[in-house]
Amino acid sequence: MNESSSRVVVITGGSRGIGRAVALRFAEEKAVVVLVHYDPDDEAARETEALLAEHGVKASSYRVDVSSRQAVVELFSEIHESFGVTDVLVNNAGITRDTLLMRMTESDWDAVMQVNLKSVFNCTQAVLRPMVKKRGGCIVNISSVVGQIGNAGQANYAASKAGIMGFTKSVAREVAGRGLRVNAVAPGFIDTEMTAVLPEKVKEEFLRQIPMSRMGTPRDVAEAVYWLASEAAAYITGQVIHVNGGMYM
């Protein structure tokens, strides 16, 4: 841990939506929060920083494309120099490029795989060695219910999110003996900018599939992430926790 003995928590995609809610949840324990995002500007990240400041947490944010291996190596070397070894990594950055497979371009496929899956490889590898050396640390990867059940129009996204599940379980097996835990959270249909762009008809169709008859909140997801990264989950690794109002059981 760093000098203040607060946990260092790095959240990719931390500027808004689920990532912001995760940051706010960790702020409650006065963690050292590091936000990584790739928005066109810093507006949402600044807003998140202001919300975190209300909890007495001075967060740092970085605008870095986590699909770029070189950029991630440089990012974590700076983070570790400034704040100490990462205690919790939340791999949450993600994008969609939805279209039916018949119409999907190679760039739709590549962009989603790079941002959603390769970024998880990049960031996890960047924290793994220091965590192993310290014999402690938690990684929580954000997958999706769609990685489990599939979704028409999201072959690229579903493949990336199913990939995260396999990655999570494999790395969990590799590092369990070193005192590290790696888990995934698979959100269902959550109220964020990502889902705000969906046509009303698609939203209604999703809602019909949810036994609890409501969208999830970013906070619903953040609670599961926080719990997995806590001592309460000390014997849990390699799991995928579904947060979806019963959409998939």
Ligand X SMILES: NC(=O)c1ccc[n+]([C@@H]2O[C@H](COP(=O)([O-])OP(=O)(O)OC[C@H]3O[C@@H](n4cnc5c(N)ncnc54)[C@H](O)[C@@H]3O)[C@@H](O)[C@H]2O)c1
Residues that bind ligand X (CB under 6 A): 12-13, 15-19, 36-39, 65-67, 92-95, 115, 142, 144, 187, 189-190, 192-195
**DSSP string of 175-237?**
HGGGTEEEEEEEE-SB-SHHHHTS-HHHHHHHHHT-TT-SPBPHHHHHHHHHHHTSGGGTT--
Q: How far is the CB of 194 from ligand X (least distance, A)?
A: 3
Closer of 7 and 242 to ligand X (Cβ): 242
Tabulate helix, strand, coil % of the chain (nearest 5). 50, 15, 35
Q: How far is the CB of 227 from ligand X (least distance, A)?
A: 17
Closer of 137 and 218 to ligand X (Cβ): 218
Q: How far is the CB of 166 from ligand X (least distance, A)?
A: 16
Closer of 132 and 149 to ligand X (Cβ): 149
What's the Cα-to-Cα distance from 98 to each of 19, 93, 194, rounded to whole Å?
A: 21, 16, 11
144 secondary structure, DSSP code:
-
Return the active site residues: 157
Q: How far is the CB of 31 from ligand X (least distance, A)?
A: 18
Q: How far is the CB of 11 from ligand X (least distance, A)?
A: 9
Closer of 128 and 140 to ligand X (Cβ): 140
Cβ partners under 8 Å of residue 240, min gap 6:
143, 148, 165, 168, 183, 184, 185, 186
What residues form DSSP beta bridges with 40? none
Closer of 190 and 233 to ligand X (Cβ): 190
Look up tokens 């590549």; give the residue: 110
